[in-house]
Amino acid sequence: MPVPPPGARRQVLLAATFPHSVWVVWDDPRSGSQIDFASFRHAVRTAERGRFDFFLIAETLRLREHAGRLDDLEVAGRPHSPTVMSALAAVTRHIGLVPTMSSTYNEPYELARQIATLDHLSAGRAGWNIVTTADPEAGVNFRRGAHLAHADRYARAEEFVRAATALWAGGTTTPQRHRGTHIDLEGTFTLPPGPQGRPVLVQAGDSADGQAFAVRHADIVFSLHDRPAEGRRFRTAIRARARALGRDPDSLKVMPGAGFVLGDTAGDAAERSRDVALRQVTPVVALTRIGQLWGADLSGRDPDDPPPPPAGPPGSPAAAMYDRAVAEGLSIRELAIRSLLRHTFTGTPAEVAARIDENVRTGAADGYILAGHLNPVGFDEFTDRVVPHLQERGVLRTAYTEGATLRENLGLTTRRPGVAR
């Protein structure tokens, strides 16, 4: 593992995610396909040019619906995440590749083979972003059928990861047998241990169960806490819990998801942020999204009017949002923009680089999982304009270490196969 020289600045970890959501500005002339392979190739190569650590793709197992109707507002239509990553392994050389896959609607033998194949094909660049699938309706597409209760989903994830880890470690020589409440598996794996021993495990999910799972198994926590103060509290708490389990806290990296909008001056950046926000939250998007949160049909309303009181109980997320709208005098559209959007880093390239560096230096994060608002060119500007500032500050590599695995690039403690934690 490359050891930073003494006095080296604390390195910033960077990942790029390919957005599929309502927040993609799909009517921009630069906006391309969200499904053609050329789009994924462009995005991953841009991130590799920017010396990012890894590229991540989220997953859904069902198209979004609302009130029994397909949601037609957002950028929908995704690839099978490990399959597009295996294709990207063939057209990249250094960047990590992290598909998102549900532990609820996959089986460990098959999933472990897909990730292990990706790891071998990419010479040690595979990860797995573990989700337990929050959509209670996804079960309609799978043999498992009825959805698991929240607590059961993490119980299954726990057994699942132990089984997958044992398969990776056992290779083609050691038969595996797992009899649990949720996992019943018997068989010999079809691949030897991969180049990085165990692929990098990313955990996304902020619940108490999710955090408990993360401190036991994950190498990276994909958190929601992109504001510095919140981020510091969260990271400090996660590290303390890891330490309490006897784990080196530096073996668990915290990477919040974050958006960015750049400009030539601070004023220009703020103006662009405003412009992007208005294009992300169009009137129809504002009425639909707030309507979904309210559990009400707001489609006839004027988005520039104040929101009606939500029907939910006091203390619900909708009630808290409503209180905010009243206190700040926000319209429905403004409320949607303020509550739902995250332009975490808005500023000039130099300012954005300085803030990322400062956040990492002061323990608000180990790095960020960035999402652009354009497919597939959302990272071009970041790579061309922010990355050089980070490199100048000495907090981002100017070249990859030849032959390094994702685990090594992330500076993670080496995990031998078979060691669950």
Q: Which residues in this chain contact other proteins in the complex, by CB under 8 A?
A: 26-27, 35-37, 41, 60-63, 69-70, 72-80, 82-84, 86-91, 105-110, 113-114, 116-118, 120-123, 140-143, 145, 172, 177, 183-192, 282-285
Instruction: Give the Cβ contact number of residue 97 at 10 Å.
Output: 29
Strand partners of residue 176? 187
Do 300 and 49 touch, CB atoms closer than 8 A?
A: no
Strand partners of residue 101? 130
In the complex, minimum distance from the CB of residue 263 to other proteins, in angstroms, rounded to a whole number: 25
**Considering beta carbons, is residue 24 or 204 the nearer one to other proteins?**
24
In the complex, minimum distance from the CB of residue 325 to other proteins, in angstroms, rounded to a whole number: 22
Tell me the CA end-to-end span of the chain in Å, nearest whole number.
Answer: 19
**Considering beta carbons, is residue 103 or 383 the nearer one to other proteins?**
103
**Considering beta carbons, is residue 73 or 377 the nearer one to other proteins?**
73
In the complex, minimum distance from the CB of residue 91 to other proteins, in angstroms, rounded to a whole number: 5
In the complex, minimum distance from the CB of residue 68 to other proteins, in angstroms, rounded to a whole number: 11
In the complex, minimum distance from the CB of residue 323 to other proteins, in angstroms, rounded to a whole number: 28
Identify the CA nearest to 120 among candidates 190, 191, 18.
Answer: 191
In the complex, minimum distance from the CB of residue 301 to other proteins, in angstroms, rounded to a whole number: 15
In the complex, minimum distance from the CB of residue 200 to other proteins, in angstroms, rounded to a whole number: 17
Q: Which residue has the tokens 């650590």?
A: 53
In the complex, minimum distance from the CB of residue 291 to other proteins, in angstroms, rounded to a whole number: 14
**Considering beta carbons, is residue 346 or 375 the nearer one to other proteins?**
375
One-letter amino acid at 352 equals V
Identify the CA nearest to 102 among candidates 82, 86, 83.
Answer: 82
Helix (H) or strand (E) holding 197: none
Report how far apart, in Å, the C-alpha atoms of 61 and of each of 16, 72, 338, 376 are. Answer: 21, 16, 28, 22
The first and second tokens of residue 218, run together, are 């994950």
Q: In whole angstroms, give the CA distance from residue 114 to residue 98.
A: 12
**Considering beta carbons, is residue 117 or 251 the nearer one to other proteins?**
117
Identify the CA nearest to 180 among candidates 105, 108, 106, 100.
Answer: 108
**Considering beta carbons, is residue 4 or 403 the nearer one to other proteins?**
403
Do 160 and 183 touch, CB atoms closer than 8 A?
A: yes
Q: Which residue has the tokens 């006897």?
A: 246
In the complex, minimum distance from the CB of residue 369 to other proteins, in angstroms, rounded to a whole number: 21
Give residues with Cβ within 8 angstroms of 345, minimum separation 6: 258, 259, 260, 261, 352, 355, 356
Q: In whole angstroms, give the CA distance from residue 410 to residue 316.
A: 38
**Considering beta carbons, is residue 228 or 283 the nearer one to other proteins?**
283
**Considering beta carbons, is residue 38 or 311 the nearer one to other proteins?**
38
Give residues with Cβ within 8 angstroms of 187, minimum separation 6: 109, 175, 176
**Considering beta carbons, is residue 178 or 225 the nearer one to other proteins?**
178
